């Protein structure tokens, strides 16, 4: 496995792979890899001849008061996980390698970015779409793998690929959870012992909402009301949003009469966590 620090290194490998007619899978990450990332890499390895894992904390998707400086990083552990999983390249560039001086070109989307995380993080998805577009161009990948935990991101990337006629297949993979139900996230490392326990309120609310729909409830407001009630009982929790949206367009929706995404963002102490389920 190769650790690549420059775009040129990745492009050189890609040129050779393309000459040989090999398929390429891309797993875009911000590093500090965990079991959720490993599942994406494992699937990419299974479905492609070569796999690139990008390991880059992308500054332009962070807001001015967000956790860019403190975001966890451990490139040595990341490389070991990638190598053990069978990846061929870990692409770990410096910020200056990805964004040259006076960088002024961005990729943006509307509509699908305006609710949920897009409402409270208004510049976030512009940063995501820009860096992902760059990674698609650098890797020339046939397929890219994203986790469902960031469900709105998955929807945004799919819309971008469709709208801009990008020649790549976007594959969504299920949420990976800890044994007690908490969705795996690099930000879980921020939680104190008390906060870690309090964070279980997210998966409790998700399970309750899913159970109501499974048992026949079709009024979205009733589902969301019960989920909010569960979260509000936890003193360390502060709700950013708990919403139901159409899964294809991320528009607010109040009935379970088509595929819907039920998503939440909750602060546990100072740490913002997300979770969701999709009902199809």
3-state secondary structure 14-83: HHHHHHCCCCEEEEEECCCCCHHHHHHHHHHHHHCCEEEEEECCCHHHCCCCCCCCCCCCCHHHHHHHHH
Position 204 scores a pLDDT of 98
Nearest to 240 by CA among 275, 265, 258, 222: 265
**Which pTM value belongs to this model?**
0.97
Q: How far is the C-alpha of 212 from the C-alpha of 195, rounded, in Å?
A: 27
| Residues classed as catalytic | 37
Phi then psi dihedrals of residue 266, to 5 deg = -135, 130
User: Please, are residues 18 and 52 in contact by the beta-carbon 8 Å criterion?
Assistant: no
Position 27 scores a pLDDT of 98
3-state class of 86 per DSSP?
Answer: coil
Position 194 scores a pLDDT of 98
- DSSP 8-state symbol, 222: H
Provide the sign of the torsion angle of the four alpha carbons 70, 75, 80, 86, taken in this order.
positive
Q: How far is the C-alpha of 203 from the C-alpha of 181, rounded, in Å?
A: 6
Position 123 scores a pLDDT of 95
- Tokens, residue 228: 């909010």
**Residue reference for tokens 């998707």:** 61
CA within 13 Å, CB half, 33: 26
Give pLDDT tens digits along the chain (280 positions): 999 999 999 999 999 999 999 999 999 999 999 999 999 999 999 999 999 999 999 999 999 989 999 999 999 999 999 999 999 999 999 999 999 999 999 999 999 999 999 999 999 999 999 999 999 999 999 999 999 999 999 999 999 999 999 999 999 999 999 999 999 999 999 999 999 999 999 999 999 999 999 999 999 999 999 999 999 999 999 999 999 999 999 999 999 999 999 999 999 999 999 999 999 9
């Amino acid at each position: 496995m190769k650790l690549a620090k420059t775009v040129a290194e990745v492009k050189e490998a890609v040129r050779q792979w393309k000459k040989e007619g090999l398929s390429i899978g891309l797993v875009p990450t911000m590093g500090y890899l965990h079991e959720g990332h490993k599942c994406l890499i494992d699937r990419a390895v299974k479905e492609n001849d070569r796999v690139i894992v990008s390991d880059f904390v992308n500054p332009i998707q962070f807001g001015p008061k967000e956790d860019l400086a403190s975001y966890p990083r451990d490139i040595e552990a990341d490389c070991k996980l990638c190598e053990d999983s069978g990846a061929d390249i870990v692409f770990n560039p410096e910020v200056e390698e990805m964004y040259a001086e006076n960088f002024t070109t961005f990729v943006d989307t509307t509509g699908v970015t305006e609710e949920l995380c897009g409402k409270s993080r208004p510049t976030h998805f512009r940063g995501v779409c820009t860096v992902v577009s760059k990674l698609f161009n650098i890797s020339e990948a046939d397929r890219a793998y994203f986790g469902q935990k960031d469900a709105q991101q998955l929807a945004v990337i799919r819309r971008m690929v469709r709208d801009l006629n990008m020649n790549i297949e976007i594959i969504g993979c299920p949420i990976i959870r800890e044994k007690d139900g908490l969705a795996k996230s690099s930000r879980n490392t921020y939680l104190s012992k008390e906060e870690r326990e309090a964070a279980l309120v997210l998966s409790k609310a998700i399970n309750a909402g899913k159970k109501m729909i499974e048992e026949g409830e079709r009024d979205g407001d009733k589902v969301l009301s019960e989920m909010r009630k569960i979260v509000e009982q936890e003193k360390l929790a502060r709700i950013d949003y708990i919403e139901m949206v159409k899964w294809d367009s991320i528009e607010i929706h109040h009935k379970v009469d088509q595929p819907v995404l039920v998503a939440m963002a909750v602060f546990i102490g100072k740490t913002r966590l997300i979770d969701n389920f999709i009902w199809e």
